[in-house]
Amino acid sequence: MRLTLKIWRQKGAADKGGFVRYPVDRVDGEMSMLECLDVLNESLIEKGEEPIAFEHDCREGICGSCGFMIGGVAHGPMPATTVCQLTMRHFKDGQELVIEPWRAAAFPVIKDLIVDRRAFDRIIASGGYISVSTGNAPDGNAHPVGKEMADRAMDAAACIGCGACVAACPNASAALFTGAKIAHLNLLPQGKPEKDRRALRMVGQMNAEGFGNCTNIGECTAVCPKEIPLEVIAIMNRDYLRASVVRREELVAAIAPVSGWDVGGKS
């Protein structure tokens, strides 16, 4: 089949960027979206042009590296599918696909389809863990965790941190991402001691990173390749509210953003 790919090209953060149209012949239905870009890139390189930069690694839908908008939808038309697992058989001969990077103030474009998602790491660094140093652990079976609770925690923990939720949200909110980690850890007995602190700090960091507010639209969960349920946002709001009542003194401290991350491209 033949497709036209209308792709966002942008040399770097300072460049304005714009769309370029590329016809691609010989698209096989078995190919993945990324393999289709590979084929296009090979032909660009052979012509001495720079290939389209896009992020990818596992190509199995688990590392969360890949992701871009196809026709305005994060990760394209198939539910619960990242672009690396999206096969071309879902498109029709002659179709034009508009491909562009995640758009969010907190995710600046680095090049073409690649954006900087380090804000997510800083949200985790602010409190997305259980403070247990190596060697401190009791026996694995010391604290029973009922199957239902373990399953709910796992549902939330399945997040791959790709950023589709932010890209799909009209407010560019990171509530689904942040809520998923808070829910995963706060639901488990091991996470209880730091429950309040975690909610306060992670929400504080999320706000400091310039993500928008959640207004319960639900676009995030609709595009989420791991179908993280909206429930996690409710858990986050509940825990944050509770914590801000009991731990008022920490609210101020929580707003100081995490440092210690190499500023990479900006240094």
Partner 1 sequence: MNLDSKLPSGPIEQAWDRTRFELKLVNPANKRKHSIIVVGSGLAGASAAATLGELGYRVECFCFQDSPRRAHSIAAQGGINAAKNYQNDGDSVYRLFYDTVKGGDFRAREANVYRLAQISVNIIDQCVAQGVPFAREYGGALTNRSFGGAQVSRTFYARGQTGQQLLLGAYQALERQVCAGTVTMRPRCEMLDLIVIDGRARGIVVRNLVTGAVTTHFADAVILGTGGYGNVYYLSTNAKGSNATAIWRAHKRGALFANPCYTQIHPTCIPVSGDYQSKLTLMSESLRNDGRIWVPLAKGDKRSPDLIPEAERDYYLERRYPSFGNLVPRDVASRNAKSVCDEGRGVGDSGLGVYLDFSNAIQRLGEGTIRERYGNLFDMYQRITDENPYKVPMRIYPAIHYTMGGLWVDYHLQSTIPGLFVVGEANFSDHGANRLGASALMQGLSDGYFIAPYTVGHYLASNKFDQVSGENPQARSAVEEVKQTTAKLLSIRGKRTVDSFHRELGKLVWEYCGMSRTAEGLELAAERIRALREEFWSDVTVPGSGDDLNQSLEKAGRVADFFELAELMCLDARQRNESCGGHFREEFQTPEGEAQRDDERFSYVAAWAYGGPGHSPELHREPLEFHYVHPSQRSYK
12-71 binders of ligand FES (CB under 6 A): 56-59, 61-66
Q: Is the dihedral of CA 65, 66, 72, 74 positive or negative?
A: negative
Helix (H) or strand (E) holding 115: strand 114-115
| From the list partner 1, ligand FES, none, partner contacted by residue 204 (C-beta under 5 to 8 A by kind) | none
| CB of 82 closer than 8 Å to CB of 58 | no
Member of 17, 38, 71, 95 binding partner 1 (CB under 8 A): 38
Question: Burial of 55 by CB count in 10 Å (0-12 exposed, 13-18 middle, 19+ buried)?
Answer: buried
- Single out the residue of 51, 20, 203, 27 nearest to residue 127, CA to CA: 203
Distance of CA 258 to the CA centre of its chain: 19
Q: What is the DSSP letter of 32?
A: B
Give the type of residue at 238: R
75 contributes a contact to ligand FES by CB under 6 A? no
Member of 73, 150, 217, 222 binding partner 1 (CB under 8 A): 150
Binding mask 201-240 for partner 1 (x = CB under 8 A): ----------------------------------------
Strand pairing report for 96-100 and 69-70: antiparallel
**Residue whose CB is less far from ligand FES, 56 or 152:** 56
Helix (H) or strand (E) holding 164: helix 164-168
| From the list partner 1, ligand FES, none, partner contacted by residue 262 (C-beta under 5 to 8 A by kind) | partner 1
Site for partner 1 in 5-34 (CB under 8 A): 11-12, 28-32, 34
**Residue whose CB is less far from partner 1, 35 or 231:** 35
Number of residues that bind ligand FES (CB under 6 A): 12
Binding mask 185-204 for partner 1 (x = CB under 8 A): x--x-xx-------------
Q: Is the dihedral of CA 170, 172, 176, 179 positive or negative?
A: negative
Member of 82, 126, 173, 221 binding ligand FES (CB under 6 A): 82
List residues near ligand FES by CB under 6 A.
56-59, 61-66, 82, 84
